[in-house]
Structure 1
Amino acid sequence: MSILIIEAFYGGSHQQLVDLLQEELDSCVLYTLPAKKWHWRARTAALSFSQSIPSSEHYSKNKQKNYKRKNEREIRTTYTTFLLPNGKKRTLFASSVLNLAELAALRPDLGKLKKILYFHENQLVYPVKKYQERDFQYGYNQILSCLVADVVVFNSIFNMESFLTSIGKFLKLIPDHRPKDLESIIRPKCQVIYFPIRFPDVSREHDKDPESFFKVLMHLKNLGLNFHVSVLGETFTDVPDIFSEAKKALGSSVLHWGYLPCKEDYFRVLCMADVVISTAKHEFFGVAMLEAVYCGCYPLCPKDLVYPEIFPAEYLYSTPEQLSKRLQSFCKRPDIIRKHLYKGEVAPFSWAALHGKFRSLLTTEPREDL
């Protein structure tokens, strides 16, 4: 097989997915842009890729090139042939950060490939203070991308349904000459394939609402309760002030703080923890939560977003007060959670369980009517 993978935001779960596909599937071609300035990537990546991806007559099999751009992450590229001897189409796989409609128009040769669009998140329900403040162009880009894609894949049912059912309301922001019936056009192309996680061999952003998370922890600290916390994650351009304030306030309770580039070290910290907490206001899957659960952590998640789809009701809370009470009880009786056996399942989200679906998705020809 030959698969052209394009990732306009090569970092976090986006990087994790395309790296996994490239490692596990044959003849993958990966083109990326670094994971920074998300809004610029969403708006301009198609034009950049239209110039950086060689035209079909320049492809040669198994020619690999590694290079770096100044002040950017490594961009890995493998050139290959995209036409089978019998003339069958090859596959283009991209995340919804990319404006696929623009790329297909700028590069008709790439537009002829089987085009698969993968949604890690969607911009139609991204949290804003007022609906009128929503930047129309990013959601509109994703709708256009769906219209030109052959297959549209979401990482959860919540992600898919929140996107599809919001199209009509979203398009009402257009003052006149609104397009019609787009949900009914896009829905037949859609399916859900959960994000595949390569779980380790172990023995046991503003949209994540860090303010609520740290307020609960500082409340526990003020109550004199004994606990330790590890705050892990990659730091991008803008870091909310609450992070530095919380680190200082929590003091000796902090075990680890910041990004751990080594995956083994990251999982080692997870295995040391008893509880993993999410206070997210914007989550369509939650890779880190499932990784922590696999490593033995007791999850506490909002009773909202994608979480009820993945975690049993026992692990969900409705208010910050409920979260605080649960954590207070755990601080007083840590033996309760250390003896606890997780009542949900993580195996369905593993690469072992999902690799067949991805292989079928990336190798099957699109229907002629798409």
Structure 2
Amino acid sequence: MRILVLSAYDAASHRAWRKGLVACFPEHQWTELALPARYFSWRIRGNSLSWAFSEREVLSQPYDLVVATSMVDLSSLRGFVPSLGQIPTLVYFHENQFAYPESGREFRSVEPQLLNIYNALCGDRLVFNSRFNRDTLLEGARKLLAKLPDQVPPGLIEQIEARSSVVPVPLPDSAFDKRAIENETWPQRSGCPAQDDPIRIVWAARWEFDKGPDRLLAILRALESRGTDFRLCILGERFRNSPKEFDTIAREFSHRLDQCGYAESREAYLSWLSGGDIFLSTATHEFQGLSVLEALAQGCIPALPARQAYPELFSEEYLYPDCGDDIEREAGLAADLIERQAEALKNGALEAPSVAGFSWSALKPLYAELFSALTATGAE
């Protein structure tokens, strides 16, 4: 089977999914086009121009299937290269533009949301990484279409819903391998932490506002005020204008921090996870939570807010309540959960939930079924 993969905003998670897809199906012949994850507004609207007039020969080949991320301007690209409209197309939604928290600095435009709708209507099959992702797109699109002044065709949401399914972004099988490089600061435990051991807390995400740095700071302060004995590892990519809370954490919790910043390698990243006890998330924006799944694959216990995609993936024993704008109350409840988990861990009464079902090995049959169904029936 000849498959064209299009990733118009090839961020780290998109890139990992694209490369994992190709590696998981070596029996197919793959052609990949990807654009850097920068200049968001231009990239999502301009990718059709960039590709149609610089990669026309590649796009015009006789493919059996097109797999495109939701950032691809698919309707325009099909207009520029009409032969693409005859090829069955799967659109993968890593995220949607209806469920992003607002920082207050956005350039307000309806165009990214309309692009999601156009792509959903263009794709022969739509795949979402979580029910939360799918449901927020459907609800957001329904509300947006209801606001438009006139000439909105009926039944669009029903068409989108009928073509939709949920298949997560898989973890590489190597994510379950605990033979990471030796971490002298946080060596893997041979068993449960001892009663007098500090609990090891890991937080890993992009250092941006939507990952809840203000909530993280509040939780750490709550734990500190209670005299909780803990060590802290903060991982993730820092950007030029990262929230000031990270500097505050580095200053206030220097006596707790064993790591604060980007791990020097993938192996080092996994070694921090494998040495941790509890993985804490404070995200206000999470469509699946790959970093959480990776941490669980390495044996961490999740402590997660009961919002976004988390409640569909994890039971209540791993969730603390979402208190909206009441950050202090949420921090107290999160600290309660962490203390309960720490005690249970030390008593050998708590284990990380299995995420083996999220591996490429486990999910390959679902992707194979999607490919086969699309190529067997063709674009309808």
TM-score after normalising by structure 2 = 0.82
What is the Cα deviation at residue 152 of structure 1? Answer: 0.6
Question: Is contact 2:303-2:318 (8 Å) kept?
Answer: yes
The alignment-based identity, stated in percent, is 30
For 1:79, the equivalent position in structure 2 comes to none
Contact 2:357 2:363 survives alignment (8 Å): yes
Q: Which residue does the alignment assign to 1:72?
A: none
Structure 1 SS opposite 2:152: coil
1:135 match: secondary structure: coil
Q: Which residue of 2 aligns with 1:353?
A: 362
- In structure 2, the residue matched to 1:201 is 177
Indicate the residue corresponding to 1:326 in structure 2.
Answer: 337
Structure 2 residue aligned with 1:242: 245
RMSD (Å), alpha carbons: 2.5
Report the Cα offset of residue 142 of structure 1: 0.6
Residues 306 and 320, structure 2, Cα contact 8 Å, conserved in 1: yes
- Matched with 1:17 is 17
The count of corresponding residues between Structure 1 and Structure 2 is 339
Amino acid at match of 2:337: R
Which amino acid in the other structure matches residue 18 of structure 1?
Answer: R
1:128 aligned counterpart, secondary structure:
coil
TM-score in terms of structure 1 length: 0.84
1:268 CA displacement:
0.6
Matches within 5 A, 1:1-370: 1-25=1-25, 26-55=28-57, 82-83=61-62, 90-128=64-102, 135-198=109-172, 199-202=175-178, 205-318=208-321, 319=323, 320=330, 321-329=332-340, 333=343, 335-336=345-346, 340-342=350-352, 344-363=353-372, 364-365=374-375, 367=377, 370=380
Alignment partners' CA distance in 1, 2:231 and 2:344: 12
SS of match in other structure, 1:225: coil
Would you say the 8 A contact 1:271–1:295 is kept in 2? Answer: yes
1:100-131 CA distances to partner (integer Å, 9 max, x unpaired)?
1121112212232221110111112222389x
- Aligned 8 A contact 2:177 2:298 in 1: no
Summarize the Cα distance change of 1:300–1:48 in structure 2 as closer, same or farther, 3 Å threshold: same
Q: Which runs of 5+ in 2 are unaligned?
A: 180-187, 189-207, 324-329
Task: Give 1:296's aligned amino acid.
Answer: G
The answer to whether the 8 Å contact 2:287/2:308 transfers is: yes
User: Aligned partners of 1:129, 1:254: CA distance in 2, in Å?
Assistant: 28
Q: Secondary structure at the match of 1:144?
A: helix
Other structure's SS at 2:221 match: helix
Rounded to whole Å, the distance in 2 between the matches of 1:33 and 1:368 is 27
1:40 & 1:329 partners in 2: Cα distance?
A: 47
| 1:76 alignment partner in structure 2 | none
Q: Give the conservation status (yes or no) of the 8 Å contact 2:66–2:88.
A: yes
2: CA distance, partners of 1:36 / 1:339: 45
Deviations 1:133-159 (A, max 9, x none): 963111110100111111110011221
Task: Kindly indicate whether the alpha-carbon contact (under 8 Å) linking 1:127 and 1:207 is maintained by their aligned counterparts in 2.
Answer: yes
